[in-house]
Structure 1
Amino acid sequence: MTGTIQNRETFLANIAKQLGRSPKAELPRPTWQYQPQDGVLKDATKDELVEVLVKQCKNIHTDIVMTNTAKLPQDLQAVIDNYGGQSVITWQDKRFQDYGLSALMTTQWQQANIEHYEWNPQQPEENIRQAEKANIGITISEITLAESGTAVLFSSQERGRSVSFLPEKSIILIPKSTIVPRMTQAARWISEKVRNGENIASCINFITGPSNSADIEMILIVGVHGPIKATYIVIEDQ
């Protein structure tokens, strides 16, 4: 149900009057002398950003695999085998088909006795049950931050956030074209989509490797409240 706003302008004008202000004050955007957010990795190439990402993955306890679309099914299966196979949950996402993974997710997994569940917006309770029991969750990054090793996932009806939270292991496919220096570029990219009137996810998750916490005596514990292992698979797509 969509609500409506009544008498907004009158209400705001009355508040401004009581405060002795103009109803719509236009404030100039500040110009800072130093803008380090734009300088970090400013001129880095995609290959250099990949190198930064690879190094950062060591710090965040995340495995990283470099591949291309031709080798992706083989390399993805290798990671799944390393994680023990068993059961996999994925988004309902056309990009899996575009990456040539349809045969892997159907015929090959059936032959290997690997259960596969695809997120179904018509079955919310079953989605959670399947995500809880799945050994591996597979998702796709929309934009990836090299500096911090962060994958940005856009949730939707077909792309449940539980796929990256509830399974014991997480595999995130990272198109090389999505890799940017840091949060600065990600925030601008999202902001631009909003200004252009594009529909974006109501929930955007910034995921940096497996779950971890250092709240207790500053001792890092991995796998406290989510996946205990994570692998990024960087796909050469340019």
Structure 2
Amino acid sequence: MPGTVQNRDAFLDTIANRLGRERKTNVTLPKWKYNPQEEVYKGASSDELLELFIKHGTGINCEVFVADKAHAAKIVHDRIKELGGGPVVTWKDSRYEESFALGKLFKEELPQEKIEVFEWNSDLGRENIEKANHANIGITISEITLAESGTVVVFSGKDRGRTVNFLPEYSIVLVPKSTIVPRMTQAAKILREKVKKGEVIPSCINYITGPSKSSDIEMKLVVGVHGPVKLNYIVVEDL
């Protein structure tokens, strides 16, 4: 049940009084004279941002593929076979079909090849996590994509379990080309605008920059220690 806020104003007034200052009820955003964060890749075209994303994505041990909508299913199919087949786990998201034309692949072609495809179902509760835990490949979608670092931004939700990105051995992330922005600066602006418009944003937003890496033990680099051992980015032309 949602909580009820009581005596909030009196509580905040007491804190302000103890600090020896007047309580502020609104905050004016500062206007900075210099904004160097805005200048990085300023004016870069969508094709230039794509080139940067490919460069930095491959630099963090990811494989990056580019396709139009008509050929996206073939590349996804090829990657699934290259990565060892199923089980495959996906979100419950209409964009797989509408934006990437993957409906036939998931519902007909892969099952005919005896490759199991499990779609996240919030009604099943913890069974979803078990399916993700035993999956070979998880397939998700990037909401915002950072060219500067090869980062995909993934929104979790009722039908978009966050474990799909982390529990399977391999991860495929579908990247609409239109989501590629220069860097974190633009991602933060997009999220801020959503909040200002009253949109409900997910409680869990993951910035994923390639497979996790650790060299804590004997200074030996281990890739994928906290998630998939390999990430594939498939950029789909949608501009």
**Do the two structures share a fold, i.e. TM-score over 0.5?**
yes
Give the superposition deviation at 1:95.
0.3
Deviations 1:97-121, CA, capped at 9 Å, x for gaps: 1021111001101111100100010
Cross-structure match for 1:23: 23
Structure 1 pair 178/4, CA: closer, same or farther in 2 (3 Å)?
same
Give the superposition deviation at 1:219.
4.5
Give the superposition deviation at 1:17.
2.2
Map residues 197-236 of structure 1 onto 2, 5 A cutoff. Answer: 197-216=198-217, 219-236=220-237
Cross-structure match for 2:94: 94
Secondary structure in structure 1 of the residue aligned to 2:121 = coil
Deviations 1:146-183, CA, capped at 9 Å, x for gaps: 10111000000100000000000000000000000000
In 2, the alpha carbon distance for the partners of 1:230 and 1:112 equals 23
Deviates more, 1:149-158 or 1:19-28: 19-28
Map residues 3-82 of structure 1 onto 2, 5 A cutoff. Answer: 3-24=3-24, 28-82=28-82
Structure 1 pair 26/91, CA: closer, same or farther in 2 (3 Å)?
closer
Q: Are the aligned partners of 2:57 and 2:63 in contact in 1 as well (CA < 8 Å)?
A: yes
Q: Percent identity?
A: 53
Q: Are the aligned partners of 2:57 and 2:151 in contact in 1 as well (CA < 8 Å)?
A: no
Structure 1 pair 89/187, CA: closer, same or farther in 2 (3 Å)?
same
- The letter of the residue matching 1:83 is L
Q: Are the aligned partners of 2:88 and 2:136 in contact in 1 as well (CA < 8 Å)?
A: yes
Cross-structure match for 1:156: 157
Structure 1 pair 124/86, CA: closer, same or farther in 2 (3 Å)?
same
Q: Give the unaligned 5+ runs of structure 1.
A: none
The 4+ residue runs of structure 1 with deviation greater than 3 A are 25-34, 214-220
Give the superposition deviation at 1:18.
2.8
Secondary structure in structure 2 of the residue aligned to 1:153 = strand
In 2, the alpha carbon distance for the partners of 1:165 and 1:101 equals 22
- The letter of the residue matching 1:86 is G
Residues 1:187 and 2:188 are matched in the alignment: yes
Give the superposition deviation at 1:33.
3.9
Q: Are the aligned partners of 2:168 and 2:227 in contact in 1 as well (CA < 8 Å)?
A: yes
Structure 1 pair 26/89, CA: closer, same or farther in 2 (3 Å)?
closer
In 1, the alpha carbon distance for the partners of 2:69 and 2:232 equals 17
Q: Are the aligned partners of 2:122 and 2:159 in contact in 1 as well (CA < 8 Å)?
A: yes
- The letter of the residue matching 1:14 is T
- Root mean square deviation, CA, Å: 1.5
Deviates more, 1:98-107 or 1:19-28: 19-28
In 1, the alpha carbon distance for the partners of 2:86 and 2:8 equals 56
Deviates more, 1:29-38 or 1:205-214: 29-38
In 1, the alpha carbon distance for the partners of 2:27 and 2:174 equals 42
Aligned length: 238
In 2, the alpha carbon distance for the partners of 1:210 and 1:19 equals 46
